[in-house]
Amino acid sequence: MQADLSPSQPIRRLMQNLARLASPERYLFTPEDLRALLPELSDGAYRTLLSRAVSEGYLARVCRGLYLYEPVAPSSGLVLFHAAARLRATQLNYISLETALSDCGIISQVPINWITLMSSGRSNKISCGPWGSIEFVHTRQTPRELMGQLYYDAPCRLWRARPQQALRDMRAARRSMELIDWSVVHESV
């Protein structure tokens, strides 16, 4: 049960600011984003406030460094994609490997609550609690080398590999090719 919040309480001010600023397009926040809403708090008070906001259900912790404001979060199942875009906003990332191949029917099994992306950043698997997991696989490919092999997936807010690029990425990352339906690959070429 949520506590009664007086207007002078920092948590109330945080929630009022989020209610005013958040939208279905902007529902994921980093600690730095939220910190800007209450700059007068000491670092210790701010950390306590974030912890309390999560424990009392005002915010949901998606993963380290990312919080979800549920009243405006979309129900579209895109939280993992949006989280990946926010977590590595300064790096080249694109949907590929099993996720891209499953989405275009080349792999018959659909990964549930797990997405795979190629990234100019380091390889890493990030658990996002009930939403699932994000797997980033490092690539040395440059945007110039990928030109024409990616397209922007606006609902996911990420670049996406075309099937042939996703297959190249599977080979380069030494992923299992056992689930690939080669008859679908040959039809799509």
Overall CATH class of domain 10-72: mainly alpha
Q: Which residues contact 180 (CB under 8 A, 6 or more apart)?
A: 101, 106, 107, 167, 170
d(CA 137, CA 134): 10
Task: Write down the residue that tokens 């992923």 correspond to.
Answer: 175
Q: Which residues contact 20 (CB under 8 A, 6 or more apart)?
A: none
Annotated domain spans of the chain: 10-72, 79-188
Asked if residue 186 has pLDDT above 90, the reply is: no
CA dihedral of residues 28, 137, 64, 88 (deg, nearest 10): -40
d(CA 167, CA 52): 45
Mean pLDDT, the chain, as a whole number? 91
Tokens for 42?
Answer: 């000491």
* DSSP codes, the chain: -PPP--TTSHHHHHHHHHHHH-BTTB-EE-HHHHHTT-TTS-HHHHHHHHHHHHHTTSSEEEETTEEE-GGG--SSS-HHHHHHHHHTTTS-EEE-HHHHHHHTTSBSSPPSSEEEEEESS--EEEE-GGG-EEEEEE----HHHHTTTEEEETTTTEEEE-HHHHHHHHHHTT---TTB-HHHHHHH-
pLDDT reported for residue 76: 76
Of the listed ranges 43-47, 120-124, 175-179, the least confidently predicted one is 175-179
pLDDT reported for residue 7: 44
Confidence of residue 181 (pLDDT cuts 50, 70, 90): confident
Torsion sign across C-alpha atoms 111, 113, 116, 122: negative
Beta-bridge partners for 134: 115, 126
Highest-scoring range by mean pLDDT, 100-114, 143-157, 168-182: 143-157
Average pLDDT over residues 48-65: 95
d(CA 116, CA 110): 12
Pairing of strands 133-138, 114-119: parallel
